[in-house]
Amino acid sequence: MSNAAQGRPHPVTPGSAALITGSRVLLGLALSWPLGAQAQTVPPEGAEAVLSELSVAGNGERASGPVVGYRATRSATATRTDTALRDTPQSIQVVPREVLVDQQNVRLTDALTNVSNVQPGGTIQGRSDTYILRGFRTQTYAIDGLVLNPANTFQPTQRDLANVERIEVLKGPASVLYGQGDPGGLINIVTRQPTLTPSADLTVQGGSFGFRRVQGSVSGAIPSVEGLAARFSFGTQNEATFRDFGGPENSRHFFAPAFVWTPDPSTRVYLNAEFTRQHSQYDEGLIAFRGRVPLDNIRRFYGEPWSRYYGESNSITLLAEHDVNENLTLRQAVNGQWGSFNLLATRATGVNAAGTTVARRLTEGESIYHSIDSRTEAVGRFIDPFGFRHTALAGFEIVDGFRHPFTTQGTATSVSFLNPIRGSVPQIGTLALQSDLRQKLSLFGVYMQDQIEFFPGLQLVLGVRFDTADQLYFQRTPTTRTIPPEQHLTGVSPRVGLVWRPVEPLTLYGSYTTSFVPQTANVLDVASPPPETGEQVEVGARFDLIPDRLTVSAAAFRILRANVAASDPVNTGFSIITGQQRSQGFEGDIAGEILPGWKVIGGIGYLDAEVTKDATVAIGNRLPAAPVFSASVWSTYQFQGGPLHGWGFGGGLTYVGERFGDITNTYKVGAYARLDAAVFYEIDPTWRFAVNGRNLTDRRYIEQPFNPFNNQPGAPLTVLASLTARY
């Protein structure tokens, strides 16, 4: 047994107290909700939409359903209710599945390129995904509105897109509904729902650097049970990549079964599960030296062929909705997550002054995690005595998260900086303890929201959430054994937003939102350091350039992030809470159809993101990986008739300005512009063939700076061919 496997705790399954409490509160909400004698009959939240979707009747878009074309009109990410985007007082962009298909995206990173002020922030050595939203890094996301394990610092696998219906990015703090969260925003992945009408699709892809992928989905009714439908989605891929690993290929395998049961028109039960297995090279990328990252050879690899990483992530979500009557809907959601990873790799620790040698160490580690999330909600629709229409949401959430990473390390041979030659042999038996951490985080939140329509075109959104968090962790290093007292934190997250539509194609809005994150820093003689908080002021507009077809949106914002932990300059190994950061700027997005067959999606952003207060970092330093200017546009055209009917082509341009790679601004990576293109042919509704090219000019650039020893280069010219069969 390896050193990393010793001392590993047995996972503890959280109890059922959250479910029992949730059931009791649901009953109380049902009995006490103010409906009023003069309440008008309003269709239950999502009732008609779910039934029409299951029967493929096509009565219009719904928040969790497919989008026709590139332009979404509804979302539930910002409000937890099926709300028109133009009635949302906060910037939110949606990347529909049709965009993923046209761009042949296999990475979440590629899909998010279509959203303004969103940049890839690092792959955690090829293991996962992180992003920069409005200047701030986030290492987590939500699936169907449920945020991933709060105790994890990153997801152990990269996200697969096989079962993704749409990707939604809510800009700015979102703690009013989601509890803890980063101030830059929230990424919410909406999955594909089962349908009663049979359907299926299968896509085979192949391309540069040995890339092979097969993905598919099949959906339909289960004959033995009335109202029960199922969907099974999968994706499996292998890839050698353009990096000079000299070892096994990277691979990822994904499977996602989903079920929807409607025993009667007023009740809906959803079950969605996801299982991911990932084998990949532990790849830190390129190394910075003397203020820049050399790009003379983007294949350069400082690891060893035997370096490897294995990660697995699992998730099961059960959601039940019941319409008590026309004005009240009750919901209960329960999500369980568990997984693990292990690795063996060499890691760079420094470059000598002459820039000729890279020092390395040998690292072996593994980690396990699990969490359970129970969310109970009631949605009421009524008209008050003044004639104002209300959509009120009330709920509470209980979350328990746990993780246990265990790491050992030892010496490894150095390699040349410019010409690394592999060949070291891992001396696993000599590894010594680096870190042994056990962390448990429990959250409890109560939240309320009211969407008030004073009259058509004027709405007020009010919301507030009260959170408590209990955190307990044990950390052991070669020289210390730290068992801080249990931290108990509280947070209040208000939100207020106003939406005004002076004329039908134009919507104006303004909002104030906040975020809350339990502090994980170890502060000397402070049992419960203040949580990290964020607040945003935003004003924006949405305008339908072409009614029901093409929409542009714009926003200006200012975000303050407070209580940022910094290294204690006096007491080594501890932190102090003095930091403050600010991000302000503006952005614009466009999505829709210009002419029949001509579609477009894209965005442009400006960011002024810097340190405004800190004890160890210079005030005025730029936030890492946040460019001042960035922009992207993607457009396709498909012939609607004539001899070229079925043929289509597309192209896109992505520009990212120069970025600093770390918070101390010791090095910088250059700006780049990348050109992509596609040509496709839909033989008939059943068959689709496409060829996509990415980085057509073969530009060398750093796509994801993370720290001086972790800088992922962008892929060179890449060609990907795909064949899709649909039923």
pLDDT in tens, 673-698: 999 999 999 988 899 999 999 999 99
The SS3 assignment for 461 reads strand
Q: For residue 460, give the amino acid letter.
A: L
How many Cβ atoms from other residues are within 10 Å of residue 1's Cβ? 6
For the chain, domain boundaries: 3-64+71-215+249-726
Indicate if the pLDDT at residue 41 is higher than 60: no
DSSP 469-500: EEEEEEEE-SS-EE-PPPEEEEEEEEEEEEEE
- Strand 142-143 relative to strand 185-191: parallel, antiparallel, unpaired? parallel
The SS3 assignment for 660 reads strand
Q: How far is CA 126 from CA 156, 205, 343, 395, in A?
A: 10, 21, 12, 38
Query: 194 is written with which tokens?
Result: 């089962």
- Strand 550-567 relative to strand 142-143: parallel, antiparallel, unpaired? unpaired
Query: What proportions of the chain, in percent to the nearest 5, are helix, strand and coil?
Result: 5, 55, 35
CB 272, CB 164: distance < 8 Å: no
How many Cβ atoms from other residues are within 10 Å of residue 545's Cβ? 12
**How far is Cα of residue 152 from the mean position of the Cα atoms in its chain?**
14
Q: Minimal CA–CA distance to 478: which of 411, 436, 438, 433?
A: 433
Indicate if the pLDDT at residue 298 is higher than 60: yes
Distance, in Å, from the CA atom of 411 to the CA atom of 287, rounded to the nearest integer, reads: 19
pLDDT at res. 528: 65
**Could you give the strand order of the β-sheet that contains 142-143, starting from the edge strand earlier in sequence?**
92-96, 164-171, 185-191, 142-143, 146-147
Lowest mean pLDDT among 286-290, 422-426, 524-528, 587-591: 524-528
Q: Give residue for tokens 């894209």.
A: 602
pLDDT at res. 518: 79
DSSP 602-656: EEEEEEEEEEEE-SSSPTTPBPTT--SEEEEEEEEEE--SSTTTTEEEEEEEEEE
Q: What is the pLDDT of residues 112-123, one digit of tens each?
A: 999 999 999 999
- 3-state SS record for 194-259: CCCCCEEEEEEEEEHHHEEEEEEEEEEECCCCCCEEEEEEEEEEEECCCCCCCCCCEEEEEEEEEE
Query: 543 is written with which tokens?
Result: 């305008």
The SS3 assignment for 310 reads strand
pLDDT at res. 578: 78
Q: Minimal CA–CA distance to 191: which of 118, 115, 272, 77?
A: 272
Distance, in Å, from the CA atom of 411 to the CA atom of 424, rounded to the nearest integer, reads: 11
Instruction: Based on DSSP, count helices (H) and strands (E) in the chain, helices before strands.
Output: 5, 37
Distance, in Å, from the CA atom of 395 to the CA atom of 382, rounded to the nearest integer, reads: 17
Alpha helices by DSSP H, 157-199: 175-178
How many Cβ atoms from other residues are within 10 Å of residue 37's Cβ? 4
- Strand 550-567 relative to strand 532-546: parallel, antiparallel, unpaired? antiparallel
How many Cβ atoms from other residues are within 10 Å of residue 56's Cβ? 11
Q: What H or E segment, with its residue span, contains residue 112? A: helix 108-112
**How far is Cα of residue 304 from the mean position of the Cα atoms in its chain?**
31
Distance, in Å, from the CA atom of 103 to the CA atom of 636, rounded to the nearest integer, reads: 10
CB 25, CB 376: distance < 8 Å: yes
CB 108, CB 161: distance < 8 Å: yes
Indicate if the pLDDT at residue 52 is higher than 90: no
Lowest mean pLDDT among 44-48, 137-141, 626-630: 44-48
Indicate if the pLDDT at residue 2 is higher than 80: no
Q: Give residue for tokens 């607040």.
A: 535
**Residue 32 pLDDT level (bands cut at 50, 70, 90):** very low
DSSP 558-581: EEEEEEEEEE-SSSTT-EEEEEEE
Q: What is the pLDDT of residues 545-560, one digit of tens each?
A: 999 999 999 999 999 9
Query: Rounded to 5 degrees, what angle do the CA atoms 241, 247, 249 make?
Result: 45
DSSP code for 429: G
**For 289-417, where are the E strands, in sequence order?**
308-325, 328-351, 357-383, 389-416
Distance, in Å, from the CA atom of 187 to the CA atom of 189, rounded to the nearest integer, reads: 7
**How far is Cα of residue 374 from the mean position of the Cα atoms in its chain?**
20
**Residue 520 pLDDT level (bands cut at 50, 70, 90):** low
CB 432, CB 402: distance < 8 Å: no
Distance, in Å, from the CA atom of 295 to the CA atom of 713, rounded to the nearest integer, reads: 8
**How far is Cα of residue 515 from the mean position of the Cα atoms in its chain?**
16
Query: 494 is written with which tokens?
Result: 């208000």
Query: 693 is written with which tokens?
Result: 């090219």
The SS3 assignment for 419 reads coil
pLDDT at res. 565: 79
For the chain, the average pLDDT equals: 89
Q: How many residues does the chain have?
A: 727
Q: What percent of the chain stands above pLDDT 90? A: 77
Q: Give residue for tokens 């359970």.
A: 372
Across residues 190-209, what is the average pLDDT?
97
pLDDT at res. 28: 38
CATH number of 3-64+71-215+249-726: 2.40.170.20
Q: What are phi and psi of 66, to 5 degrees?
A: -70, 160
Is pTM beyond 0.95? Reply is no
CB 409, CB 345: distance < 8 Å: no
**Residue 15 pLDDT level (bands cut at 50, 70, 90):** very low
Indicate if the pLDDT at residue 292 is higher than 50: yes
CB 526, CB 514: distance < 8 Å: no
**Residues ≥6 apart with Cβ < 8 Å to 389:** 381, 382, 383, 452, 453
Q: What is the pLDDT of residues 142-184, one digit of tens each?
A: 999 999 888 888 899 999 999 999 999 999 999 999 988 889 9
CB 449, CB 176: distance < 8 Å: yes
Query: 227 is written with which tokens?
Result: 């109202």
